[in-house]
Amino acid sequence: MIHPKKLAQLAKKWQRKVAAGAGGQQASECCSTVADKGHCVVYSADGVRFEVPLAYLGTTVFVELLRMAGEEFGFASSEGGRITLPCDATVIEYVLCLVRRDASEEVERAFLSSIAGHCHGQDASMGLTHQFALCT
């Protein structure tokens, strides 16, 4: 598992590389994706921007979502260096809620298994209605 500090360093290096190789307009778009200190910017499959605390990136659920994103979109995307998770905004909001509430690894794994078929181009919020009770 990659350490969150190392991941932040890689993300910054990668964003600088994208900005340096991009034309003027894309470079300014890239700079708008810079997160607050201690956070990493990710996007949902439907384009919603999230600033995720670096500490969350080491959790089971985010490690798996990042792995899925790498498989689905790759990390050299054509969208100006964005990291896009393969789920819609509703799912990512729920994941953030689980992590904020310090859900056990077992709960995170159960959640991941419940969305496994829904995160790749299907309705990623389908079947999650009964689970929102945990985070409301």
Does residue 34 carry a pLDDT above 60?
yes
Identify which has the larger pLDDT, 123 or 84: 84
- Chain-centroid distance of CA 129 in Å reads 21
Kindly compute the dihedral angle of the four CA atoms of residues 25, 27, 29, 33, in this order, to the nearest 10 degrees.
180
Cβ–Cβ < 8 Å for 115, 87: yes
User: What is residue 2's predicted lDDT score, i.e. its pLDDT?
Assistant: 65
C-alpha span between 95 and 19 (Å, rounded): 30
The confidence band for 15, taking pLDDT boundaries of 50, 70 and 90, is low
pTM of the model: 0.63
Number of Cα atoms under 13 Å in the Cβ half of residue 108: 21
CATH label, 33-116, candidates 2.60.40, 3.30.1360, 3.30.420, 3.30.710? 3.30.710
Does residue 28 carry a pLDDT above 50?
no
pLDDT tens for 73-108 read 776 655 567 888 888 999 999 999 999 999 888 898
H or E segment and range at residue 39: strand 39-43
Kindly compute the dihedral angle of the four CA atoms of residues 43, 49, 54, 55, in this order, to the nearest 10 degrees.
-90
C-alpha span between 54 and 38 (Å, rounded): 6
Does residue 51 carry a pLDDT above 80?
yes
C-alpha span between 81 and 112 (Å, rounded): 25
In the chain, where the domains are located:
33-116
pLDDT tens for 1-14 read 666 676 667 667 66
